[in-house]
Amino acid sequence: MNLLQIQRKFSTQNKCIAYLEKLRWNGKPTCPHCNSKMVYRRNKTNIWHCNHCNKDFTVLYDTIFEDTRLPLPKWFMVVGLMLNTKTGISAKEIQRNVGLTYKTAWYSAMRVRCAMIDYDNIELHGIVEMDEAYIGGKPRYRYKKGDNTPNLSKVTAKRGRGTKKTPIVGIVERGDKVVLKVIEKLTARNLMAMLKRFVDTKNALVVTDEFRSYRSFDDIVQHYTIQHKKKQYVKGLMHTNTIEGFWSIVKNSIKGNYIAISKKYLPLYLVQSQYVYNHRNYRGNLFEKFLKQAVRVDKTDYMEHYKPVKKDVKKLIYKPKNKRG
């Protein structure tokens, strides 16, 4: 759905509510407190009452739309904007386009990202490429004597392994989905755990570069190593061009839209990059699919609050639970 259609179809709070009630309950309203169906709508309002537990609720209870004063038609515009921009969008742009304060724009965008979290249904197979990248950290500028403006042509920030940047790992199935995670440490054990978690190792061929932490992959999966150091980049089907192309999308979108991303929220920006990439060929109504996920009752393991709460965002950082992965 494009923005104009969204604006026309969901012009009032009540129209939005009716739509969300349909997506969440499909005609069978259920009490979110006790799961009872003995509920009724309070006269001419959007408030429901449960006869079983005696509590009130609305369809927004326990969703990304809960507890905000932002009217739903504006929320829907934020969602539409974020789904329709392939390369990401800044809070500043949302602020301008929807007419919000910066703070509200930032917060609503973060909540939308919370509903984009989708790690549960990912199992990659076929030819799979795995690679790491580094994001963040301030570039170091050089100043000429007596000149206060940084010389951007001489940015000397260190790159890659061994810097203070945040390591992220991506695994992509050719022609299909990508999974993207901030990883606590780039150790062989953590990479192995991530491989096992997201890749169907019996039916996959994994292509990586020669980073030594990938060596142990040989023991559990068909594994091909590209020798970048020997200037080898492509050997027939063996290359990591898909994941490298994806990294440039992610990095450009971060560079183009966000001046700086705090390390704390980086996982949520990556969630958005992953979501947009994984739905690039989706033919149905993505707006509806997204809202359905945003109001669904069974949440993922990752978010308890549907808000950018520090504790929850931390859960998005990949850190295998048991030592044996």
Note the residues at the interface with Zn ion (CB under 5 A). 31, 33-34, 36, 50, 52-53
Q: Strand pairing of 234-235 and 48-50? A: unpaired
Q: How far is the CB of 33 from Zn ion (least distance, A)?
A: 4
Q: Residue 57 or residue 106: which is nearer to Zn ion going by CB?
A: 57
Closer residue to Zn ion (CB): 20 or 50: 50
Q: What is the DSSP string of 257-273?
A: H-S---TTTHHHHHHHH
| CA–CA dist 246, 101 (Å, integer) | 32
Residue appearing with tokens 């930032």: 106
Closest distance of CB 59 from Zn ion, Å? 14
| Closest distance of CB 285 from Zn ion, Å | 31
DSSP 61: T
For the CB of residue 56, give the shortest distance to Zn ion in the complex, in Å.
9
Total number of residues shown for the chain: 325
Identify whether the C-beta of residue 195 lies closer than 8 Å to the C-beta of residue 201: yes
207 membership: H or E segment, kind and range: strand 199-209
Sequence-distant contacts of 232-240: CB under 8 A, at least 24 apart: 237/127, 238/207, 239/129, 239/207, 240/129, 240/131, 240/207, 240/208, 240/209
What is the nearest approach in angstroms of Zn ion to the Cβ of residue 25?
14
Contact criterion met (CB below 8 Å) for 237 and 127: yes
Nearer to Zn ion, 35 or 151 (CB): 35
**Cβ contact 89:81 at 8 Å:** yes
Based on CB atoms, which residue is closest to Zn ion, 37 or 264?
A: 37
Nearer to Zn ion, 52 or 314 (CB): 52
Q: Which two tokens stand for residue 137?
A: 């950290």
Asked if 75 and 108 count as a contact pair (C-beta separation under 8 A), the reply is yes
Report the C-alpha gap between 75 and 191 in whole angstroms.
38
Q: Which is nearer to Zn ion, 57 or 247 (CB)?
A: 57
Task: Look up residue 98 and give its DSSP letter.
Answer: I
| Nearer Cβ to Zn ion (33/189) | 33
CB of 77 to Zn ion, least distance (A): 33
* CB 72, min distance to Zn ion, A: 24
Over its C-alpha atoms, the chain yields an Rg (Å, rounded) of: 23
Cβ at position 251, least distance to Zn ion in Å: 48
Q: Residue 218 and residue 234: Cα distance in Å, rounded?
A: 20
Nearer to Zn ion among residue 31 and residue 171 (C-beta): 31
